[in-house]
Structures are given as C-alpha cells and as structure tokens.
Structure 1
Amino acid sequence: MPPAMTDILDIWAADSQLSNEDYVTVDFLLPTGIYIQMEVPREATIQHIKLLLWKQASTYPLFAFLGEMESHMFECVNQSAVHEALEDETRRLCDVRPFLPVLKLVPRNCGRAERLNSKIGTLIGKGLHELDALQDQEVKDFRVKMFRISEEKMQRVQMMTWMEWLQSCFSPQLENGVIDGLQEKLFDGALKVIMHFDQSQVRMLLFSSFPFYVRACVIGKDTPHLTLVHCGMVQAMFEKELSAIGAVVNRKTSNPPLPLPPKRRGPSVSVPGRLGSVAPAPEPVQVRAGLFHGTELLCKPSVSTESSGRSEHVWNHTLDFDIAVCDLPRMARLCFAIYAVMDKVKKQKSTKNGSCHHYPIAWVNTMVFDYRGHLKTGDNILHCWSSFPDELEEMLNPIGTVRTNPYTENATALHIYFPEYSSCPVILEKAAEIARSSDCLPMVFHIELKEIMERDPLSQLCENEKDLIWTLRYDCRENFPQSLPKLLLSVKWSKHEDMAQLQALLQIWPKLSPRDALELLDFNYPDQYVREYAVRCLKDMSDDELSQYLLQLVQVLRYEPYYDCALTRFLLERAQTNRKIGHFLFWHLRSEIHMPAVSVQFSLILEAYCRGSIPHIEVLKKQVEALSKLKAVNELIKLGTIKNARKTKEAMLTKEAMLTCLRQTGFTETLSDLHSPLNPSVVLSGINVEKCRYMDSKMKPLWIVYNNKLLGGDTLGIIFKNGDDLRQDMLTLQILRLMDLLWKEANLDLRIVPYGCLATGDRSGLIEVVSAAETIANIQLTSSNVAAAAAFNKDALLNWLKEKNSGDALDRAIEEFTLSCAGYCVATYVLGIGDRHSDNIMVRSTGQLFHIDFGHILGNFKSKFGIKRERVPFILTHDFIHVIQQGKTGNTEKFGNFRQYCEDAYLILRRNGNLFITLFALMLTAGLPELTSVKDIQYLKDSLALGKTDEEALKQFRQKFDEALRESWTTKVNWMAHNVAHNRS
C-alpha cells in the first residue's frame, strides 16, 4: 500500500480508537551520530516536535555538541522522493507526510539560494539536483541565463511600489509598449550569442558535402540493445571518403526538383523505448537515415547495409547525403529508423518494401547543428524510442522529438559519429540579403495565385503551384501577407539562395495578426527566423487573448529543438508580468512533466518561472499540497470500493471514511483558503465536508463542495479526477470558449457554458461544477416511474423548466434554451463530438443547455458489433423542439428563429475555419488518443465545408439539420437503452 494511503488509513483509525493512537513513532537522526526513536503527536507542529526532541536528546551523550536549538532544522524525504528541508516549522507532521517516519536534524548552514532550490524542486515535482546532475552544456547554459534574468527581475520587483507591483502581477491592462519595453530589458542582449567564423570555414561550407559514418553492434539477452559506435580509423576514413564526396558534388550540374513534402505524420508517443523480439531466429537489421527540414525531405534517405547475427550486428558503412553543408538549413534534423528485414511477418506494424517486410525496432532524431549553431562533430549517443506513430513514410519520424529517451537502461542506444571538417567549429553562414523583384507574369497567373492563397491549411501544393508562389513572392507580400505559411512551404530549403531570399523577405514582411501568426509555430515551419517573426507578431496579443491560446503555445514548445528560443522567452516574460498567465503556464507544464520527451525541457521552464516569480511559489505550493490530499482520499475510496464492491453497508462505510479524512485538521486546513487551480481569481475558502461525496463511476471522482465567502455564502463545487486524462476535454472546452468568443464578436450570443477543466498531473485534474444544473436523464427519470418510457416523454423537459421558472422568467429560460441549443448543435457537429447520451447533456435552471464529457471528438463515434450507435450529425430531439416552440406544435416562428441561429453560427465558424485547423494541428504531438494525425483534423475541413462557397456549405448544413430532425428517434432509442442500463446499475 502506498505511504499516502497508509497515512490516511491511520488518521481515519485515529478518530475511532484510543487516544494513544494519535501518536506516531519517528526515528530522529542527530548530527552527533546519535539515533533517537520516540513517539510524537501526529498533529504536532515541527517546532513542537523539535522541542520534544531537544528535551529527549538532553538525556543522551554528546548533547552539549548540538549547540543552540534555533540553529538546527529537520530534513526528510517527501512523497515525491525529493529531499526537502522543513524550514517552515509551523507546519504539522501530518501535513509534511514524509516518505518514511524519519527526520534528520541538521545545522542551518544553508543559505537563501539552497532554501529556494528546495522549494522549487518540491513545487515542480522534480528535484533540481536532477537538473544539476545532467551533463548537458545546453542545460547548464540555459539555467545560467535564466538565473541571471530572474535575479535582475526580482531586483526590479523589490524596487517597485505596491501599486506598481500589483499592476505588474495582476492587471491584464498592460500597454503593449510597456510589455515590449520589459521584454527588451529582460531578454535583448542577455540571450544573444554572437559567433564568428573565418574565410577557411566559409570555403569549407561551400564545397563540403555531408557524410555520416556509422558502425554498429547489437548486444543483449532476450531483448538486445542496438549500439552504434564510430570506426577506429577516423582520419583514414575521412580522407578516403573525401574524394568520393567530391565526385558526387562534381556530378551535380543542376539542382534536381525536390520531391513533394511527405504528408504530416502523427505525434511521437513519449514512452520508454525497448527493443522487442523481432523473430525467433536472427534477422538482418538495417538503419535508415533521412535529413529533414520540418516534414520536407531535403535529399534522398540513406540506408545502411544489412547485418545479420544472433547476438551482434556490426556495420562498417558510411551514410552519405547528397547535399552540400552550405545548403543545410539551420534547423535541419537527422532522423533514424532501425528495423529488421524479414521475409514473412505476421505483425501488423510491419511495412512492405518490394519482396521483403520491414519490422520497425526503434527511432530517434537529432539536430545537425547544436544549440550554439555549430555543426555537430564527433561521437553522439542517442537513446531511441520504440513506439512508432502510424503511417510513417519509410519509418522515419521527423515530427518526433529530438530529445533522446531518458530511460537509458532499457532503451536502444545508437552511437553515431559526425566527421570533423576543420579544427575550428563549422558555423552556418548567415544568408546574405539578396533583393529581387517578382518576375513579370501574365495576369492569369496572378488570378491562379489568389485561388491558391485562399485554400485552407490542409490543402496540398503541387510543385508547379509552389514555383508560382515563389516566383510571385513579392506579390504575396503586397496582396496576401497572411499567406506567408504557403510561401514557406514553397521554399526549397536545400538551396542556400532560397533561404537567403526568404530571410531578406521576412525583414520587410508586414506584421500578421496574432491569430494568423499562430500557424507559423506549426512543425512545418521550423526555421528560427520564421518562428522569431511569429513570436514578434504574438507580442500584440492581449493577456486575455494569450490565455485563450496558451494551451497550444505550451504544446508547441515540443517542436522547439533548443531550450533557449524566442517562444520560451516570450511565454516566460508574459507569465512573469501577469500572474493569471503564470498560473496556467505552471499547470500546463507541470501536468506533463512526467512525459520523458519533455521532462527536462518543461522542468527548466518551470524553474525559470519560479525564480522570476518567487512570491507566487507559496500560492502554487498550497494548490499542489491540496491536490495531493485529494489524490490520497481518492485512493482510499478506490481501495474501499474494490474490497466492498458487493456490500452496500461497507460501501457506506467507505463514504464515511472519506468524510472522516476530510474532517481531519490536516486535510481541512490544506484544502481551505487556497486559490482555485481552475481559476486563480477564485479563493476556495472553507470546505463543506457534509456535502462532499464521491461519484459512482470507475475512477470514483471526488465531488468537493466549498462555502465560498466571496459568493455571498453560495456553495462552489469542483470535481477531482484521478485516473482519467482530461486533456482532450480541456482542448474541447477551449475550442467551445473560442467559438463563444467568435460568435460574440459577430454580435451573436449563444449562451455557451464553457466550464472550467484543468489537467494537473498524470491522468488527473479538476472540473468545475456548474451550479443549478441537471442532466437530461435525471429530468426524464424524475418525471416517469418507468426508465424505458422516460426518454419518450417529450413534456418532461418543458415541465421541469416551468417548475424552475414562472411568468416572464419562463420566457427568458426558453429563449436561453433556444440560443444555447443552437450553439451546441453547431459546435458538436463541427467538432464531431460523439457519445452523446442523456447523462452528458445538462440544463441549468435558467434554461441554458450544455454538454459535458468529451471523450470522443472529431467523428470518433461509438459503435457496437460494428454498427454505429450514433447516426445523427448532432442531437436535436423532439422534446428539445417542444421547448423551443414553447409547447405549441404550430409555433413555426420560434423554430424558424432557432434554425436561423444555427445557420448564422455555422457561417461564422466557417469564416474562422483556418484558425480551428491551426489550433488542432498545434496539438498533434500532445498524445491525445483521437488527435494523432492530419487525417483526424480532416474531419474539421469536411464539417466546415472548407473549399466550398457559403451557399454550398449552407446547403450541406441544412441537409445535416434535416437529417438530425428525421433521425432523432434513433437518439431516443439510444437514450432509452442508456436510461434502463443506468437504472439497473
């Protein structure tokens, strides 16, 4: 049983047993070498425990050597297996919850910096000693820069007046000039790295191609590890290959046309890699490598020779790439796939190539240039990932992370060697600014350009179209500045001249709106100058707008190959000047810190944020502690319900155990008077234990109720989930919030209820409880004694609204219902939200209808026995129409208004279709189960009818509307089955 569970069970037992059970036995380790074991009160503060220890220690030898009591403090190992100094001695032992009941007494010889490090490590859930131990110069340089910037910021904060400090931390009304000024002071100059190279390096860049040497050996038992090591005769091999390289370069009389860029691939899955058994008999193993810029393949991939053997595979082979070093883009990445070559494979994940099958074993990516801009040289050890995304071309995964697998013990290790071109670092030459005007072309080509530029982001460009865009690039700048993404897809990134032209063009490109600039942060646009341009555009965002897109901006950090980048600095600066943004940045990062691919990156950003926002640490720390308490209570409930699944009486005791825990002083104090993680503007004051409960679903979510002083005594509820991934719900609710904003901008308020939802950890998080609301199922079941008949009672919903409202209030409630029903009909259709039954559609007493539980989106509808359970494009039942028509069958005017609301809402979303596609595309690497590839996003393009005229799109929507009406009886049948099943359970 976990220590946290033991702690809760012990506390629960404490109230029902003798008073001597209120004590716990603790081992104390003294700096004099003396060990003392004694019982102390669970509820005692650390200061009181120290007094008790001092009295006991006075009877032991060497007591005189301890010195003053105030000059000592306790240390322990906490529940996160992190070393923690217990400096705050007003805390109680039951709040500290050490991993084991062992406290070490140490002299207070640590300074302010050490105490701060301990707090930050505890807060972010990753000890800073782990970052200290990393032998990575990039990590060290980033931390040094961030430390210096944070120190300067905190010094400025200390010199602020109270009003200045409040405005800096809490006001969303900062002028752009102030923000830009702060950013310039914080980052410009401090983070610039100026590098020089001599003429010999320039010549090397111009005439050297890019060879790559590889030799490998596979070792291991049942699951062998693949290890590639460089050849011993490095200099001899380099000289031998140089002539061959020269021959390749000499044969290049012209630049061949680039292949079409591969389709966008699914995200990498950040799980520990392991080389699985590929066959009972040894099979040949090969390595494939490709050079990419984004998803564009820069030249033909290179494949090693086959190597056979039972326990060892060895290569002596050079992988050459037909591209000159001077033509390598700064953000070029080298992608590897390791696979077995097999004649007969029954595995589904195998891919066929000619007469052979390739069974993927592992993949890994690395940048060609390091974070300083130096071409990599020498040995590199890359620990691989074994989980392959679907639909990879040639098994290469360019969209995957460039971080190596941190679980090195069980990961395939790929040792590679980059040759050295000179004794000095080779630095990519900065592209010269070459100004050219667009070629004069007939007007027909300009008309074609306009048609291309109006396409949605998912539309593929053929080579002729790319050439046309590039030729008319200055026309694009003048007439279609928002088309910059399509221009970037038309650049030949393997040509130094094209890159030079683009860099010059970016200097004079008009600033895009922040919404349009978001697309430039997609993986398809990895160039650092492009991304810096995008961030400059994002600086025009208000704090509210930045909060709207923060979820995507955090996910986009996964695409950044280096820790120090424009986006990281932008997010940190804005977070440290507005606490609300800082709050959500903290939780978005911390909720995914357990993922190996981003663990170090997100830890570094969290550390940098905390160092620059020291006053915020204690606020966040209390939230972390509160969530830890809730998780412990949830684990107690799960344990109790598993043991007593068939015993109603014992199950009731489990609920009582939950309430007993919540009544404990340690729990009530931790869970009270804290800023809500869902909304930091709301203070959760006192927990109302008697109204708390757990919900009857698989993961036993906690329903926690607060008496909120700021709401005039009204209660406020939150749901804590442990075991469910809330990130897909969080994304869907964010999009609903955006839809609501877009409709309101067009003067259409459809009364959407985008309640709060926040992932706070590995498969855990919080959901806001919407007050005064009931599910459709409960409303129907309350009105009927027979569950099977309840779904067909069309008067139940209207009668319920009449009970809650009378007179003019009823008319307002029906109007609220009409507007909100129209909004959710359109939203659920466009987003393809599935699994719509009567328990995840709710209605407030004020009439607002809203949907909950978004486990199925983008057309992933549930099916049973191969038959789709949902056959309607959206939910529009006859009882809904009965309410809209005010209970009057012939009230066609009200229904006509409703239909018009739906059509207007649909057309508004269509006008913003590119924005929705961009936001979903930026989430591709998040690892959401139903958003793994561009094929999933294609659903949005189809539902919004992008590429069609408004008239054609409206015709399509009207057909879907009529279909929803015509097939609503199937919804009723499904709801009947759901009600019966629910009633039985």
Structure 2
Amino acid sequence: MTGNEFRFFLSCDINLPVTFRVDRLEGHLPLPVKSPNSESNVPTEDRTGELYVECALYIDGAQFGLPTRTRLESSGPYCWNELITLTTKYRDLTAQSQLTFTVWDVSHGDGLVGGATILLFNRKKQLKTGKQKLRLWPGKEADGAFPTSTPGKVPRHERGELERLEKLVNKYERGQIPRVDWLDRLTFKTMEKIKERESLKNGSSHLYLVVDFCSFEHRVVFQESGANFLMPSPIASTNDIVIVWDPEVGKINPSEHKQLKLARSLTRGVIDRDLKPSSNERKSIQRILKYPPTRTLSGDERQLLWKFRFSLMSEKRALTKFLRCVEWSDVQEAKQALELMGKWEMIDVSDALELLSPVFESEEVRAYAVSVLERADDEELECYLLQLVQALRFERSDKSRLSHFLVQRALRNIELASFLRWYVAVELYDPAYAKRFYCTYEILEENMMKMAAGVNGEEDGFKLWQSLVRQTELTAQLCSITRDVRNVRGNTQKKIEKLRQLLSGLLSELTYFDEPIRSPLAPGVLITGIVPSESSIFKSALHPLRLTFRTANGGTCKIIFKKGDDIRQDQLVVQMVSLMDRLLKLENLDLHLTPYMVLATGQDEGMLEFIPSRSLAQILSEHRSIVSYLQKFHPDDHGPFGITATCLETFIKSCAGYSVITYILGIGDRHLDNLLLRDDGRLFHVDFGFILGRDPKPFPPPMKLCKEMVEAMGGAESQYYTRFKSYCCEAYNILRKSSNLILNLFYLMAGSNIPDIASDPEKGILKLQEKFRLDLDDEASIHFFQDLINESVSALFPQMVETIHRWAQYWR
C-alpha cells in the first residue's frame, strides 16, 4: 500500500452484529431528591447506589429492536466492563443511527440518574471506534430522536486538555501510536495529575459514561446496501478477510491465566528441578539479569525465570529478579518461593537494598534483606543509613525487623546512634509516617537507657543518651542566635559584632560547655565550646553562622549553621559523593574528592562542615587565572606551568571526579560561585539546590567544565587535558558497574520529602538510570563520555549565562 492509498470497508459489506462495551461511570452521583421532612444532609461524595445501564439502538429516530441492560453495580467506582452485542448488523445501519444510554439507580427515588445519546457515524460518515466519553444529562432519559435532546458529545467550547489526551489514548490502545514502556508510564502518570486538576476545576457537577466501540483493521465508511458505487470494493467476495478488532486485547484472559497458574503449580516442582535452559533461553536469562532494578519484567520474562528457578539458585544476581516473578497472592506459590529464597546463594548487600524497596511487601522477604545487611560492617552501613531510615516508610508495621536491626547496630556504635537519631528526628515532621519514625526513636532511647553493648552499666547508658540529647539543645540555641542576629539592623559587620557579643555575654555558657558534647557532624569528635573571636557570619540572605568549636583534644573544628533553608537535598548529594568516592577508591582510583559533612537537623535547618577554600569567581577576579592562584601556594620553577606536579595532578583528578559525579546526578545551577578550590589544588562543588536534571538556566551543558579549568590544564591540546579525560572515562566506567547500588539507594528515597525527588520520583530515577547508559559496553561508553566532554567545553550559551551571572553578582 502506497502513502496515497486509503483503504476502507463499506458498512453494507459487514455482516456482523453491532458490538460495544459499557466500561465505567466517572464523577460523583447527584444527591437524591430530599423529602421535606428529611433532615439528613449526605455529602455528594458519600452517595452510593445500585446502578445499571440500559442501551437501545435508534435508526432514523425510531427504536430498532429491544433495549439491553447491563448487570447491577452496587458500589463505587462503578465499572461494568460488559460487552453488549445487539441483534442488528452493521450492514443494516443508516447514517442517522444512534445509541442511547440511560443509567438507572434501583436504590433511590424514581431511579433515573441520567442519559446520553451518541451517533454511530461521524460527519465524514465514518464509523466511530474506540473509547467514547459521554456526558450524562442528569434526571433525563436518553432520547433517540433525530436530532436528539440528550447529546452525549461535550460541546467544543467546553473541551479541555483532558479530552485531547483521551483521544490520543484511544489511538494508543488501538496500536496507532508506538509503545515505549518507560515513557508510557511517565505519560499516564502525568495524565492522572491532569485529570485530578480538571476534576478539581470543574467540580463534581458532571457525570460521564465511558463506552468502548469495536474497531476494525481499516476504517468503516457508511454505504447503503445495494447502492451503485463506482470504485471496486476493497473487500473480496469472501467474508473471511474481514478482520474485527478484539475488544479483549490487553485484558486478562481467564483461560490463559489458569493455564499459567497450572504451569507454575507445585505439582510441576519435581519436573522443574531437572530443567536446564537451552542456549537461547540462557542468553535471554542473562539479558534479564542485567536489567536495572527499575525495569518491570514482562509476562514471558517472569514465566521464563520461574520455569528455571531451580537451576538459577546458584546465581545470586537472579534472586531479586526471581522474587519479582512470584505471584504473592497465591499462598502455595509464595510458600515455595520463600523456601527457595532460604536456599539461594547469598546475595550482595547492594541487592538486599532492592528487597527493601516498596516493590516487595512480603515481611519474610524484607526480613531476609535485613539478615543480609547484618553482614555489612559499620562503615558500609553508615553509607546507606540515610536510605535505610527512609525504607522504614515501606515496612508493614511500626516495630519491624529493619527498625530493630538499625537500633541494635546503633547501640554498638555511637556514630551510628547519633546519625540514626538525627535522621529519624527530622522525619518526625512528616505527619503520614510520624508514628512509625517515633517508634524507632522511642526504641533507641529505651535501649540507650538500658545496658547497651559495650556500655558499662545503666548510668553510663543514660549519660550516652544525654550526650546526644544535648546536641538538640545546642542546635536550638544556635537557632535562637540566628534569629537575634538577623534582627540587627545594619551591615554584616554589625551582625558579626552582635554574634560575638552574645557568645561572650548572655550566652557565655556556649563558650565553655559544662560537659563535652559530641559533634552532630562527626560524633567521634567531642566539642567543648565556641571561640567567639573566630566565629563569623556569611554575607547572605539567610545569614548562616560560621562557628569555630574547641575540641577535647586541644584542636578546633569549623561548622556552618544554617536556619531557614532545607538542606536535606544537599545532605543526600554529599552522601552520594562520599559513596562514589568510596567506590572509586575500592578500584584504586583516588580522585581527591572533598565529601564534606552535611547534617539536616530539621526541615529548615542544619549543619555543614566548613572547608577553607575560595570560589573560582573570586580567584579569577583577583588572580586572573587558576594557575596564578596555585602558584601562590605551590610554586615550582621546574614544574608544569610553574606549580608542583602533585598540585596539578590533584587539580586534574578532582576536576575529573566532580565532572563525572555531577553529570550522573544531574546537578544543575553550576556557576563559578559554587565551584570552590582549596589551597592544595582540590576543586569541589557546593550548593545542590537542583539535581536529577533540573536547572534554572536555559540550555545547560551536560557537565560543568568551564574554559578556565581547561586552560589551567594547559588547553585542549595539552597532555594534562588528555589525562583529565582519561580519568573521567575510567571513573565513569567504575561507577557504571555500581549502577544498581546507586539506583537502589535513590529508589529508597522515593518516599522522602526531598524537593527534586518528591516532585516526581519515578521520572527522577529514570533520568538517573539514563545517565549510566547501561546499553553501552565499556569501550562505547568511553567514546560517549569523551563526546560529552567536548560538547560541554564548546558550549557557547552557558558561557554567556556565566558572564551575565558575574555581572549580576558584581552589581549586587
């Protein structure tokens, strides 16, 4: 068939009965007529009834045949999904044929809910197909006259975005729009939001009936039987080539479902034990095992893994995929799956994190995941602690195995105890899960008061808990100081003077603590007081405090305290930087990253470790180039560009590390003010207000790699720039190997209140997955990443935006 041909069927040639499906009712039922003596006032949302739909065919305004009724539906949402087949054939229809639909309620009053009428042919005399959404006329029985007084078609001026989208869905279901699994999920989720918004905007004033008309291989054009048509009929003389769309497509076939259950039944267990996959089946299984944890398995893939479950028990990677195949509603199948899980090859900790995601609801599976986590040492557990606390949202009970495990490990390690207490305390502000997090908090406090492992006596346990409680008292005092300083009129210097005055006078107890307090950022460090003369305030809208604390060992540590800003997103990003730094070092690649400490102590407050450094904007303003700045601290007449080779290597490695990490995490709003450089040549990023692809600037480059950084490496043709690209590609391939771990950790954050995740968790995780390019092998990924680097360096528009940003900062 060429592009100019238009194939169609003639209605007079279709010797099939008129068929359609009554799908569902949308909207709230209207209130029943209130009697004068009645005092009840039932909200519209609470109205229920026993409904059925009466369908009738009208030809040229006269009823043709007997009306047909659906079954009764007694509770909302009212979904009949019932196939109706009339005695009338398509060949008997006229251009003015109509179907009437009247909804009756047998439980209230006269029982009439409303009716609607729809023409079977459109203005072009083509048969209507697919889903049709009809607006019911309340209190009126559907009228089959021509023209009708109860048209179900929504007037053009009242149609919104939702009607247009529903037409596209209609085409999608008929196969006229190609299917893309991950994109379809995001699209339908967005459509649900639009539907909710439209519903709120329009209120509950309208009721709609959704019906589904039969579709054919080609369009059906109206033609009276026996008419003289000049063109030859596209249908041959035999009727067997008329293909009718099956309305059951996409729905569960009961007989097929029964066959699958029989195939998976326990009676086949003896046979399945000896089954071995063929060469092609083995390739399919290996392909499935490489799927990321976000990938949904198809029915055939689930069946394949179930069939060869016994031969896969020695493959530890296969367990999480196998557990996704189990029909947990089937008691016997679930029982066998749990038995196999206990005999399976022990999985890695990264895979255990996947079993704690919301996908797995079985308490036995989640308990198994916790038993795997028990093998992790404290250092590794601390890397995942933030996500494990978030996983408490997906537990079935408030006192779960996971909660008990976290508390028991915290009792053995004061750093874990401190971080667990803060992570849980911050989540107490979430009303939906406050009780669950409070239970964990309560269990931790109760056990701390008792004899904990490694603590001698109940009194010492009490002191240990009190030392953590005093952290909260300290942050409360710092919040009070921040408010007092903000209220001071004048410039930053006056606010600094007020801060030092408060610390030396009214709040002098903060200068020297009665007893040492464990630092919230680093619980292993004991702080004994604040040094007023070395404390200051940053010139910023929120006026964050920069505090210098004395430590018990005679040294000092500097902490930034911010009030009025949610830093939980920064906390997550820095945690991921720290984790990726650990993964790179395990592969003997140290890129000199700076994963400074960040801790949210509330929804709008928190602490950050202060790292002495200067922004690239400030360095370029004062020293003209990065090399000139580094020459000041590490001069070497014989070294490259007049600086020591060690310093330049440190700079190159840190640039490479952060280029890769910021690309993977989709960190946005990168400018020269949030790129900092330490005296030893380490470059690092701060301020992570935009992640997972969000960026306030138009056309951002794939990664932040400004020309000044390239110039510091000797230019694009330099051997040092080539070494930079080599480090980037090596780091990218190392992190790609741990993509499942990183994706699992973000998946556990799906229920958190972190802004860029909470807005659309599924979309954010899919964006993160896309950055790993799991479809490429290591060699192809190297070429891909080198192209990304070249694209970022040559990006002109971001350079223009950076220049505008610098001017804005100057005039500010």
| Structures share fold, TM-score greater than 0.5 | yes
CA shift, 1:670, in A, is 7.5
What amino acid does structure 1 have at the position aligned with 2:469? Answer: K
Q: Describe the superposition over 1:884-929 as per-residue Cα deviations: whole angstroms up to 9, x where unpaired.
A: 23xxx59733222222111111110111111111111110110222
What amino acid does structure 1 have at the position aligned with 2:610? Answer: V
| 1:778 corresponding residue in structure 2 | 618
Tell me the distance in 1 between the aligned counterparts of 2:104 and 2:792.
Answer: 57
| 2:659 corresponding residue in structure 1 | 825
CA shift, 1:441, in A, is 4.9
Question: Does the 8 A contact of 1:513 with 1:537 survive in 2?
Answer: yes
Q: Say yes or no: does 1:454 pair with 2:290.
A: yes
Aligned-partner SS, 2:579: helix
Tell me the distance in 2 between the aligned counterparts of 1:883 and 1:229.
Answer: 72
Tell me the distance in 1 between the aligned counterparts of 2:379 and 2:158.
Answer: 53
Question: Does the 8 A contact of 2:320 with 2:351 survive in 1?
Answer: no
What amino acid does structure 1 have at the position aligned with 2:466? Answer: E
Tell me the distance in 2 between the aligned counterparts of 1:227 and 1:982.
Answer: 54
Aligned-partner SS, 1:850: strand
CA shift, 1:971, in A, is 4.1
Aligned-partner SS, 1:474: coil
| 1:896 corresponding residue in structure 2 | 722
CA shift, 1:954, in A, is 1.8
Q: Identify the structure with bigger relative contact order (alpha carbons < 8 Å, sequence gap 6+).
A: 1
Tell me the distance in 2 between the aligned counterparts of 1:838 and 1:441.
Answer: 56
CA shift, 1:661, in A, is 2.0
Identify if the C-alpha distance between structure 1 residues 709 and 891 changes in structure 2 by more than 3 Å, giving closer, same or farther: farther
| 2:498 corresponding residue in structure 1 | 657
1:722-737 → structure 2 map (5 Å cutoff): 722-737=563-578
Tell me the distance in 1 between the aligned counterparts of 2:335 and 2:509.
Answer: 63
Task: Please point out which of 532, 535, 545 is paired with 1:689.
Answer: 532
| 2:507 corresponding residue in structure 1 | 666
Aligned-partner SS, 1:703: strand
Aligned-partner SS, 2:684: strand
| 2:438 corresponding residue in structure 1 | 603
| 2:811 corresponding residue in structure 1 | 984
Task: Please point out which of 311, 330, 348 is paired with 1:513.
Answer: 348
Question: Does the 8 A contact of 1:678 with 1:768 survive in 2?
Answer: yes
| 1:498 corresponding residue in structure 2 | 333
Aligned-partner SS, 2:296: coil
Task: Please point out which of 548, 553, 556 is paired with 1:705.
Answer: 548
| 2:788 corresponding residue in structure 1 | 960
Q: Say yes or no: does 1:537 pair with 2:372.
A: yes
Aligned-partner SS, 1:613: helix
Question: Does the 8 A contact of 1:626 with 1:671 survive in 2?
Answer: no
Q: Say yes or no: does 1:444 pair with 2:270.
A: no
CA shift, 1:516, in A, is 1.9
Tell me the distance in 2 between the aligned counterparts of 1:217 and 1:536.
Answer: 55
Aligned-partner SS, 1:926: coil
Task: Please point out which of 391, 394, 419 is paired with 1:559.
Answer: 394
CA shift, 1:390, in A, is 9.8
1:913-952 → structure 2 map (5 Å cutoff): 913-931=739-757, 932-952=760-780
Identify if the C-alpha distance between structure 1 residues 697 and 748 changes in structure 2 by more than 3 Å, giving closer, same or farther: same
Tell me the distance in 2 between the aligned counterparts of 1:929 and 1:460.
Answer: 26
Tell me the distance in 2 between the aligned counterparts of 1:594 and 1:288.
Answer: 37
What amino acid does structure 2 have at the position aligned with 1:926? Answer: S
| 2:670 corresponding residue in structure 1 | 836
Identify if the C-alpha distance between structure 1 residues 354 and 958 changes in structure 2 by more than 3 Å, giving closer, same or farther: closer
Q: Say yes or no: does 1:850 pair with 2:698.
A: no
Tell me the distance in 1 between the aligned counterparts of 2:43 and 2:483.
Answer: 37
What amino acid does structure 1 have at the position aligned with 2:574? Answer: L
| 1:474 corresponding residue in structure 2 | 310
TM-score under structure 2 length normalisation: 0.65
TM-score under structure 1 length normalisation: 0.54
| 2:629 corresponding residue in structure 1 | 800
Q: Say yes or no: does 1:576 pair with 2:417.
A: no
| 1:13 corresponding residue in structure 2 | none
| 2:484 corresponding residue in structure 1 | 636
CA shift, 1:463, in A, is 1.1
Identify if the C-alpha distance between structure 1 residues 433 and 622 changes in structure 2 by more than 3 Å, giving closer, same or farther: farther
| 1:238 corresponding residue in structure 2 | none
Tell me the distance in 2 between the aligned counterparts of 1:447 and 1:568.
Answer: 40
Q: Say yes or no: does 1:585 pair with 2:420.
A: yes
Question: Does the 8 A contact of 1:433 with 1:504 survive in 2?
Answer: no
Aligned-partner SS, 1:481: coil
- Aligned residues between the structures: 578
Identify if the C-alpha distance between structure 1 residues 927 and 801 changes in structure 2 by more than 3 Å, giving closer, same or farther: same
Aligned-partner SS, 1:475: coil
Tell me the distance in 2 between the aligned counterparts of 1:347 and 1:571.
Answer: 54
| 1:717 corresponding residue in structure 2 | 558
- Identity across the alignment (%): 29
Q: Say yes or no: does 1:769 pair with 2:603.
A: no
What amino acid does structure 2 have at the position aligned with 1:700? Answer: H
CA shift, 1:654, in A, is 3.9
Tell me the distance in 1 between the aligned counterparts of 2:44 and 2:418.
Answer: 43
| 1:975 corresponding residue in structure 2 | 802
Question: Does the 8 A contact of 2:537 with 2:544 survive in 1?
Answer: yes
CA shift, 1:520, in A, is 0.8
Question: Does the 8 A contact of 1:433 with 1:501 survive in 2?
Answer: no
CA shift, 1:718, in A, is 1.1
What amino acid does structure 1 have at the position aligned with 2:590? Answer: D
Tell me the distance in 1 between the aligned counterparts of 2:324 and 2:158.
Answer: 38
Aligned-partner SS, 2:431: coil
1:618-633 → structure 2 map (5 Å cutoff): 618-633=466-481
Question: Does the 8 A contact of 1:434 with 1:504 survive in 2?
Answer: no
Structure 2, unmatched stretches of 5+, are: 1-27, 33-40, 50-70, 80-102, 106-110, 112-137, 139-151, 170-185, 194-264, 450-461
Tell me the distance in 2 between the aligned counterparts of 1:851 and 1:984.
Answer: 24
Deviates more, 1:520-529 or 1:942-951: 942-951
Tell me the distance in 2 between the aligned counterparts of 1:351 and 1:758.
Answer: 47
Question: Does the 8 A contact of 1:433 with 1:503 survive in 2?
Answer: no
Q: Say yes or no: does 1:884 pair with 2:713.
A: yes
Aligned-partner SS, 1:875: coil
Aligned-partner SS, 2:669: coil
What amino acid does structure 2 have at the position aligned with 1:721? Answer: K
CA shift, 1:351, in A, is 9.2
Tell me the distance in 2 between the aligned counterparts of 1:840 and 1:691.
Answer: 24
Q: Describe the superposition over 1:86-126 as per-residue Cα deviations: whole angstroms up to 9, x where unpaired.
A: xxxxxxxxxxxxxxxxxxxxxxxxxxxxxxxxxxxxxxxxx
Question: Does the 8 A contact of 1:522 with 1:556 survive in 2?
Answer: yes
Q: Describe the superposition over 1:394-448 as per-residue Cα deviations: whole angstroms up to 9, x where unpaired.
A: 969xxxxxxxxxxxxxxxxxxxxxxxxxxxxxxxxxx999954344553321221
1:332-481 → structure 2 map (5 Å cutoff): 392=189, 436=270, 437-438=272-273, 439=275, 441-478=277-314, 480-481=315-316
Tell me the distance in 2 between the aligned counterparts of 1:579 and 1:450.
Answer: 43
Identify if the C-alpha distance between structure 1 residues 620 and 665 changes in structure 2 by more than 3 Å, giving closer, same or farther: farther
What amino acid does structure 1 have at the position aligned with 2:665? Answer: L
CA shift, 1:665, in A, is 4.9
Question: Does the 8 A contact of 1:434 with 1:501 survive in 2?
Answer: no
Q: Describe the superposition over 1:256-310 as per-residue Cα deviations: whole angstroms up to 9, x where unpaired.
A: xxxxxxxxxxxxxxxxxxxxxxxxxxxxx96589xxxxxxxxxxxxxxx999xxx
Structure 1, unmatched stretches of 5+, are: 1-213, 232-247, 249-284, 290-304, 308-313, 315-340, 358-388, 397-430, 784-792
CA shift, 1:727, in A, is 1.2
| 2:115 corresponding residue in structure 1 | none
| 2:594 corresponding residue in structure 1 | 753
Tell me the distance in 2 between the aligned counterparts of 1:351 and 1:639.
Answer: 53
Question: Does the 8 A contact of 2:675 with 2:685 survive in 1?
Answer: yes
| 2:646 corresponding residue in structure 1 | 812
Question: Does the 8 A contact of 1:813 with 1:847 survive in 2?
Answer: yes
1:96-175 → structure 2 map (5 Å cutoff): none
Q: Describe the superposition over 1:530-586 as per-residue Cα deviations: whole angstroms up to 9, x where unpaired.
A: 111111111100010000100000000001121122111111111112111111000
Aligned-partner SS, 2:695: coil
